[in-house]
Amino acid sequence: MRDFAITPSIAVTIGRQTRLYHAFVTTAPVELDSPATLTLYLSTLADVAGFAATPVEHDNGGARTCARLVLVDAGELSWQRARCRGNHHVFAPADPVLVGLTTLQHWLWQRLKAPVDPDSAGDGNTRTTSE
């Protein structure tokens, strides 16, 4: 059964394949991501928590925790949610007003135009193309 989220989302079409991605705020490290998860923004929890649809609780020490705004493939959403929560990480839907379609499009284009870091290849968040 597919798991659908009421979160900001964006459909991405490459060739004949279209995938739907949902936006979430998480404190999970990249190592817990599904292969199709994409990090759009990385900062402290105090900074990234503002993108969540509901308040994300953190104490003064937790405010410095690393957090990310991520896009999660709809087909892998249940798995990603279970993995994050099973490892006691925040996994909160993004706010659809703050992170609407226009914002997602802009950040996704910025991410796709970013230079590829060969040292981070294989981390589940870097995509390369052969030219």
CA angle 17, 20, 23 (to 5 degrees): 145
Whole-angstrom distance, CA of residue 89 vs CA of residue 67 = 10
Segments in the chain forming alpha helices (H): 45-48, 77-86, 101-113
Per-residue pLDDT tens digits of the chain, which is 131 residues long: 455 557 899 999 989 999 999 999 999 999 999 999 999 999 999 999 999 998 887 665 566 789 999 999 999 999 999 999 999 999 999 999 999 999 999 998 888 887 766 665 445 444 433 33
Task: Provide the token pair at 117.
Answer: 């870091």
Q: β-strands 9-14, 17-26: how paired? A: antiparallel
Q: What pLDDT is attached to residue 131?
A: 31
Q: What is the pLDDT of residue 87?
A: 95
Q: Would you tell me how many other CB atoms lie within 10 Å of the CB of residue 80? A: 23
